[in-house]
Structure 1
Amino acid sequence: MRTVLIAAFLLTALPALAAGPVKPARLGLCAACHGETGMAQIPGAPNLAGQRLDYLRGALKQYRDGRRNAPLMKAAIGPVSDQDLDALAQWYSAQAPGQATP
């Protein structure tokens, strides 16, 4: 019985896991400069598509906490939770570099 339950769970969960990260609710402000798919929309903004997850997660926390001196980023991130920062990092790290904006 236990095996059947595990199999049923995996069959229902695998499509969601294979689809990749869900578009974060807080993506809008980030996308204004970095693009929804991580390809910069304005000069001087870095492309985030395909960056390493741990790098993005750490950088976002450093901007939020003021350890990276970038007033624009600190203002844009504001008091975002670790969960929201993680969702943004997962989203951008999962995007393919060079992918066109939809």
Structure 2
Amino acid sequence: MATDYDAPRKTAEDLGEESIEELKTRRTERSSSSSVDEDEAEAAEGFELPGADLSGEELSVQVLPRQQDEFTCASCFLVKHRSQLHHASSTGGQLICNDCAA
């Protein structure tokens, strides 16, 4: 960018006034040019809300009963393999997994 060194210099007040005016015009230009035409109904169709009616849906997962080498944790109530059983006398005879005992 070329600079004209012969042009009269502007004072700090002149620069401050120009910058405020420029900022005001930029703000109005941004607000008028940044409007996006988006249909809210179309945008909301892709979202599923929690608690949606799933009565027409069927599970595609086969559920197996608890196996001989598994236990149900008394804390989190998840079925886990015996290798994840916490071995401590402080559990009071309850079967607790390593994750809940930690």
Structures share a fold, TM > 0.5? no
TM-score (norm 1): 0.21
Larger radius of gyration: 2
Give the structure with the higher percent strand. Answer: 2
Give the structure with the higher percent helix. Answer: 1
More RCO (CA 8 Å, sep 6+):
1
